[in-house]
């Protein structure tokens, strides 16, 4: 089992919670389902979790025709930290989102 937590800024904001609140109900429910799956299942397929860089992973959610993505990283073997979320509109994950996840990872590790 894993523990999934949401990154918080130094000011105490939680970008993942803010993003989830901006989604319509079906999108938010699909997101919570996949987050629970990541936490509860020992092995997760690449249709749900895919490595993007050395340290950043992409959590993949499909809600109807929408593709929702959450970027995350592992802190140890069992802690997953979600850093940012977005609705995917292109085939490729935007570099700015990957860079944001990397900055938030560095901030999280520096402050833990």
**3-111: which CATH topology?**
YaeB-like fold (3.30.2310)
The pLDDT score that the predictor gives to residue 64 is 85
62 CB neighbour count, 10 Å cutoff: 14
The pLDDT score that the predictor gives to residue 26 is 95
Helix axes 25-40, 15-22, angle to 10 degrees: 140
Report how far Cα 68 is from the mean position of its chain's Cα atoms. Answer: 10
The mean pLDDT values, 10 residues at a time, for the chain of 112 residues are 96 98 96 97 93 97 94 96 96 96 98 91
The pLDDT score that the predictor gives to residue 50 is 96
The pLDDT score that the predictor gives to residue 101 is 98
The pLDDT score that the predictor gives to residue 112 is 87
DSSP letter at 51 equals E
The pLDDT score that the predictor gives to residue 7 is 98
């Amino acid at each position: 089992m894993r523990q999934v937590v949401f990154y918080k800024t130094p000011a105490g904001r939680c970008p993942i919670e803010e993003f989830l609140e901006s989604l319509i109900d079906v999108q938010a429910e699909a997101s919570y389902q996949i987050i629970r799956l990541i936490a509860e299942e020992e092995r997760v397929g690449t249709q749900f979790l895919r490595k993007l860089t050395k340290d950043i992973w992409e959590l993949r959610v499909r809600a109807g025709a929408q593709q929702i993505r959450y970027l995350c990283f592992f802190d140890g073997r069992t802690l997953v930290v979600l850093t940012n979320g977005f609705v995917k509109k292109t085939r490729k994950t935007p570099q700015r989102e990957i860079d944001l996840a990397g900055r938030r990872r560095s901030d999280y590790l520096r402050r833990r």
